Chains A and B, each alone.
Chain A
Amino acid sequence: MIKKTLGCLLTTLLPLFVLNSAHAAGTTAGTVIPNTTTLSYSIAGVAAPPITSAPATVTVDEVIDLTLTWQDGAPVNVNSPDSNDPLRFQLVNTGNGNETFTLSRNNNPTTGDQYNPLSSSTPIYLESNGTPGLQTGVGGDTPFGGSLTLSPDGSATIYLLSDTPTGLPNGSRGDVQLTAASATPGASGAAFGTVLNGQGDGGVDAVVGVALGQAQATGSYLVSGLSVVVAKSVVSPSNPDALVPGALITYRVQVTLSGTGTADNLVISDPLPVQVSYQPSSATLSGNLACNPCTDSSDADPVAFSANTLTATLGTVAAPASFTLDFLATLN
């Protein structure tokens, strides 16, 4: 690819150059490199004062180059609907001058995804407060203001914030593409090796590097739709409206996790109304964490009863999963 591009370059009478990969930026743009040589000699065996040449001077042009990469590593899980979920990107100025870049996002970059994420009200943030991850508000990261300037080898962490439409099925993927482009006039999209006269730092020429003045990276969201539904019902008697005091009621709490993802620290609490009294040691739990009967104390089994509240501590639960908690109470 590069070889082919070089072919074009050569015929345009540009000096041969290979971009230095060890130190991305190379010698800073505008650096003056003088070469002076000294000659000593003698005439008839008598040393004459040495001569120094006028300097042959080369000034380092600015190479405009950049890399942009999506940093999350895997699609970012979102719900449907959802809002302000960040995708994280890193922009690196791999050129040798201070360069200003503009950023833009495309919410519909590919046809391989299932939905188009929506730009949040503040669609782009720059990491600025030194705390990893996106923080918004006072003391948080900075909403992107239209351009950013990076020194040679300088980098920026960029967050794209998206909202997720409602009603999307689990497993739907939505892609967003970020484009970072050099703000130097004529650089973005120009051919490799294009010389922009006087557009570099301090008035040196700017030369378009391998990125061709702009870079794209695409990140993805995945509707994981982890939902935890809790439903409580009376199993018996069948006609609870006709209960008399002292009647035994069987309650059922049904917990269902659907979609994809993992619920952390899942705890089901059921504070009982004052009209009923829990029948000690009546709880049973079926499903992934079963106990029958369950004890009412806080111990190895997940169920505990105290302060008139029945709790089931389920911990980390991956979807899909379901639990059924049954217990008895008497009507006061």
Chain B
Amino acid sequence: MTTQKTLITVCTLALLAFIHPVAHAANAVELKSVAEVEVEVVNSKGKKELKRQPVEKAVPGTEVIYTTTFKNLIAKPVGNIAITNPVPNNTTYKAGSATGANTDITFSIDGGKAFAAPDKLKLKDKDGKERSALPAEYTHIRWTYKGELPAGKSGEVSFRTVIK
């Protein structure tokens, strides 16, 4: 019963993936965000492996992987690319989960006003003592792409959260 339902969800999303790119054709850059979960499946050799699948519904405690893809749709390179993603409501950022090839990753703990590397994010306790911010206190993540993205090329950044 459960297996059937999950497979149907996968099929539906696969269809959507084919239709969706048209939506942002007017922009020079195509931008997509997908939410996925990892499930452990048994492969054809009888071994367990982690497989990602799209997720639309989940219970508290679920680890959700958000992946953002961006593609240069024009004939010229684009530069100064910065991707900013708030940590979604009712979720907690998973420490160390933000990745992105050829990017500098910084975080905000003040609702997206200021961004800095994790070791430079400081908070003051009630008694005025300074301490490092916890990953669970991050409110935003920013990926700053190094250099230009050539025509037709794409990039990908990702992070994980846990539903509170």
Interface residues, chain A, with chain B CB atoms under 8 Å away:
10-20, 23, 25-27, 31, 33-45, 47-48, 51-63, 96, 194-195, 197, 204-205, 207
19 contacts between A and B (CB under 8 A): A11-B41, A15-B39, A15-B62, A16-B40, A17-B59, A17-B63, A20-B61, A26-B59, A33-B90, A35-B88, A36-B86, A37-B31, A37-B68, A38-B84, A38-B85, A39-B29, A41-B79, A42-B79, A58-B56
Q: Is there an interface contact between A10 and B78, defined as CB atoms closer than 8 Å? A: no
Which residues of the other chain, B, contact A23 by a CB distance below 8 angstroms?
164
Given known A-B contacts A16-B63, A43-B28, A59-B56, A36 and B80 have beta carbons under 8 A apart: no
Complex Cα gap A31–B82 (Å): 29
Q: Is there an interface contact between A40 and B81, defined as CB atoms closer than 8 Å? A: yes
Complex Cα gap A204–B56 (Å): 11
Q: Is there an interface contact between B56 and A26, defined as CB atoms closer than 8 Å? A: no
- Pick the contact of A60 from B38, B39, B60, B86 — CB < 8 Å? B60
Closest to B54 in A: A56
B123 interfacial contact with A, CB 8 Å: no
- Pick the contact of A40 from B48, B82, B91 — CB < 8 Å? B82
Closest to B35 in A: A56
Which residues of the other chain, A, contact B12 by a CB distance below 8 angstroms?
none
Q: Is there an interface contact between B34 and A61, defined as CB atoms closer than 8 Å? A: no
Task: List the 3 closest A-B pairs by CB distance, nearest first.
Answer: A26-B60, A15-B37, A10-B40
Which residues of the other chain, B, contact A15 by a CB distance below 8 angstroms?
37-39, 55, 58, 62
- Pick the contact of B81 from A41, A62, A207 — CB < 8 Å? A41
- Pick the contact of B32 from A53, A59, A205 — CB < 8 Å? A53
* Chain B interface SS verdict (over half): strand
* Residue tally, chain B, CB below 8 Å to A: 56
- Pick the contact of B33 from A12, A36, A96, A197 — CB < 8 Å? A36
Which residues of the other chain, A, contact B42 by a CB distance below 8 angstroms?
11
Complex Cα gap A17–B6 (Å): 16
Closest to B157 in A: A37
Q: Is there an interface contact between A26 and B164, defined as CB atoms closer than 8 Å? A: yes
Q: Is there an interface contact between B27 and A63, defined as CB atoms closer than 8 Å? A: no
- Pick the contact of B58 from A10, A18, A55, A61 — CB < 8 Å? A61
Q: Is there an interface contact between A27 and B79, defined as CB atoms closer than 8 Å? A: no
Q: Is there an interface contact between B62 and A53, defined as CB atoms closer than 8 Å? A: no
Q: Is there an interface contact between B163 and A26, defined as CB atoms closer than 8 Å? A: yes
B44 interfacial contact with A, CB 8 Å: no
Complex Cα gap A48–B82 (Å): 12
Given known A-B contacts A54-B32, A54-B33, A195 and B5 have beta carbons under 8 A apart: yes
B74 interfacial contact with A, CB 8 Å: yes
Given known A-B contacts A41-B80, A44-B76, A60 and B56 have beta carbons under 8 A apart: no
Q: Is there an interface contact between A38 and B56, defined as CB atoms closer than 8 Å? A: no
Q: Is there an interface contact between A53 and B68, defined as CB atoms closer than 8 Å? A: yes
- Pick the contact of B83 from A19, A38, A194 — CB < 8 Å? A38
Which residues of the other chain, B, contact A45 by a CB distance below 8 angstroms?
79
Complex Cα gap A48–B73 (Å): 14
Closest to B81 in A: A41
- Pick the contact of B82 from A14, A39, A57 — CB < 8 Å? A39
B64 interfacial contact with A, CB 8 Å: yes
Which residues of the other chain, A, contact B23 by a CB distance below 8 angstroms?
54
- Pick the contact of A39 from B38, B59, B62, B83 — CB < 8 Å? B83
Q: Is there an interface contact between A42 and B80, defined as CB atoms closer than 8 Å? A: yes
Q: Which of A33, A52, A55, A197 has the most CB of B within 10 A?
A: A33
Complex Cα gap A53–B42 (Å): 34
